[in-house]
Amino acid sequence: MKKIKEFFASELYKKKIRPELVRTVAVIVFTIIYGFGVTWFLESSVIPMYTGGIPGIAQLIRDFMKYSLLWDISGWEGLFLSLFVVIANIPIMLLGWFGVSKKFVIYSFISVIIQATMLGFIPRIDLGLSSESQALTATILGGILIGIGVGGALKYGTSTGGLDIVAQYLSLKKGKSVGFISMIMNIVIALLGGIITAPDLVTRGVLANVDQATAAAGIVISYTILRLVVSTIMTDRLHTAYQFILVDIITENPSDIVSDILVKIYRGVTLINVQGGFTKKDKTLIKVVISSYELTSLTQMVNQIDPKAFIITQPVKQVFGNFKKKTIA
């Protein structure tokens, strides 16, 4: 028992093992949330709606086979979604392996396996959202769950795979919002989905007072784009790895804090000599720009060295110059 307590108190566990356990749990939990959003809300809606990335493309191809080619795929629909998600992610994983982060891709692959299993085989539960009047509710709730799943995975240094890895790669290279890049990529899926499913909706009379394929396509596209917007907002709210913060630290013990920032956070700092207005004591103002997800680590580190340090943060819209955008895993 004593050895177990010593292990959990050790630096090895705190700095190396525990962070990986947290990431593993995070990728499992957030992928499950993502899967529920797609299966229980989007797939159960009377109005076809598409998720983003590779699963969205899988839905698109499935619907093309069903409604355009008129193939009967009812017996192997789930298997098709699962296999497509896994196989289509392989080249994207290679891009992430060499262009983003190896650890990032390993966790993303775990997510892809869980995701493929859930999308292909999880039972669909009737939550009372299968009528036309409840389509808006299904859109919003599904979008929220998908956004939480994607954004939460990214926040902990993982992803749900697919176009998230492509978006992460472009975000590192261009500095654009991950959610914004994903939305642009996925709008095409919404447009094609509306075109493919509209004739079937009109034929079956699924939508009340809609007797033209153009109008039906517009409804499908509108709901899917609304879902994309909701998911994008949730993704950017949760995932803050590429939003920047200027941190001002006023302290009487600058040397240790600066040393830890340079070594542990790996950010450059600027030092300014200041004086306390009330105490008249000489102090040092440390200015450093970090990514938002580094803030917790920075504040904990500063408080350990100087509990009396005064810390101010403010958002930074853009950063120019020698500022390294680090991979998140």
Select the highest-mean-pLDDT range: 218-227, 231-240, 316-325: 218-227
Instruction: Tell the residue number behind the tokens 């699962």, with chain if given.
Output: 82
Say yes or no: domain 244-316 is CATH 3.60.20.30: no
| CB-neighbour burial class of residue 208 (10 A; exposed 0-12, middle 13-18, buried 19+) | exposed
Instruction: Give the C-alpha separation, 64 to 141, whole Å.
Output: 26
User: What is the per-residue pLDDT across 229-287, written as a single tens digit (0 to 9) for each?
Assistant: 888 888 777 766 556 789 999 999 899 999 988 888 888 899 999 988 888 889 999 99
User: What percentage of the chain reaches a pLDDT higher than 70?
Assistant: 87
Where residue 293 falls among pLDDT bands split at 50, 70, 90?
A: low
Question: 207 in helix, strand or coil?
Answer: coil
pLDDT in tens, 75-87: 788 889 899 999 9
Q: What is the pLDDT of residue 286?
A: 94
Overall average pLDDT of the 296-325 stretch? 82
Query: Residue 174 carries which side chain, given as an amino acid letter?
Result: K
C-alpha to C-alpha distance for 177 and 122, rounded to whole angstroms:
32
Question: What is residue 310's predicted lDDT score, i.e. its pLDDT?
Answer: 92
Q: Give pLDDT, residue 178.
A: 55
Going from N- to C-terminal start, the domains of the chain cover 2-238, 244-316
Instruction: Quote the CA–CA distance of 199 and 67 in Å, as a whole number.
Output: 8
Mean residue pLDDT across the chain:
82
**Backbone angles phi and psi of 248, in degrees to 5:** -105, 125
Handedness of CA 205, 208, 214, 217 (dihedral sign): negative
Residue 255: name the closest of 233, 229, 283 by CA.
Answer: 283
Planar angle of CA 276, 280, 284, nearest 5 degrees: 45
